[in-house]
């Protein structure tokens, strides 16, 4: 049997998840069932961390070969949850993707009733990097609201706001168009907390009736049709990420859906 090693390298459950075989939780289950081996020995603990090359197998079959880190722009429609499995049986983003694509994860999330740009990647490390607040990337949204717009309170959002003891960072809100009781706003923020826009608008007495993300940092929704997906060229990825751009290939990658 393989005993846990000192914590260096990457944990085996993470490697299996990044190989596109399953989630980390499912990887731990496979290990507990004795279905995972490392260098010919059955693994007994998900705490094992590995560095370098190893013969990792599940049910006797080698895990998939490495594939380059890739990024896609996806125009998420409303009515889909951004998860691989939903306990309530609601349709998910990943069920709607073309079957020939690799197993992917999202960069951040959009809730059930939100739409627009969702970045997807086959690489967990890239997803975490793109989510880092330290990047300073703006997320921009077009938001339709119902209610009376108070221009002064909109401007005050640039100083941040605290609602029910939750502190939200600066939000730049621009009124684009007012139509009777409806208005369109463009909101820009750096770090979006869960349902942040809806809660902040509700705090201002406004009800959000439509929320569309149009940009995530340098990546734009543009004219991508609803439900369509398009890969970001690797050249563009390198240009936007600079020194932190992923290498052309890596030892372990999410390879399958």
Provide the annotated active-site residues. Answer: 111
Q: Is 147 exposed, middle or buried (0-12, 13-18, 19+ CB in 10 A)?
A: middle
Q: Which long-range contacts (CB under 8 A, 24 or more apart) does 221-224 make?
A: 221/73, 221/75, 221/116, 221/117, 224/73, 224/74, 224/75, 224/117
Q: How many other C-beta atoms can be found within 10 angstroms of the C-beta atom of residue 35?
A: 15
Tokens coding 248? 């052309």
Q: Which residue has the tokens 């490697």?
A: 15
Distance of CA 218 to the CA centre of its chain: 16
| Those residues with Cβ within 8 angstroms of residue 93's Cβ, 6 or more apart along the chain or in another chain | 74, 76, 80, 81, 82, 83, 106, 118, 120
Residues 6+ apart with CB under 8 A from 242: none
DSSP letter, residue 103: P
Residue with tokens 């895990």: 63
Tokens representing 217 are: 């940092």
């Amino acid at each position: 049997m393989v005993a846990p090693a000192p914590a260096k390298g990457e944990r085996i459950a993470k490697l299996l998840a990044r190989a596109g075989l399953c989630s980390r939780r499912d990887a731990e289950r496979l290990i507990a069932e004795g279905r995972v081996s490392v260098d010919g020995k059955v693994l007994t603990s998900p705490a094992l961390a590995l560095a370098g090359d190893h013969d990792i197998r599940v049910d006797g079959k080698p895990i998939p070969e490495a594939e380059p880190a890739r990024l896609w722009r996806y125009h998420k429609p409303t009515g889909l949850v951004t998860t691989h499995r939903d306990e309530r049986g609601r349709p998910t983003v990943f069920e709607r993707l073309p079957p020939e694509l690799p197993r992917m994860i999202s960069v951040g999330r959009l809730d059930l009733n939100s739409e627009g740009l969702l970045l997807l990647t086959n690489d967990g490390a890239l997803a975490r990097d793109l989510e880092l607040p330290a990047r300073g990337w703006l997320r921009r949204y077009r938001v339709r609201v119902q209610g009376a717009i108070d221009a002064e309170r909109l401007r005050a959002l640039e100083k941040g706001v605290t609602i029910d003891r939750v502190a939200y960072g600066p939000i730049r809100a621009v009124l684009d168009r007012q139509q009777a009781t409806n208005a369109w706003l463009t909101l820009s923020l750096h770090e979006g907390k869960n349902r942040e826009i809806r809660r902040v608008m509700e705090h201002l007495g406004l009800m959000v009736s439509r929320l569309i993300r149009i940009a995530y940092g340098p990546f734009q929704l543009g004219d991508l049709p609803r439900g369509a997906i398009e890969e970001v060229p690797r050249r563009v990825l390198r240009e936007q990420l600079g020194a932190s751009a992923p290498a052309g290939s890596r030892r372990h990658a999410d390879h399958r859906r």
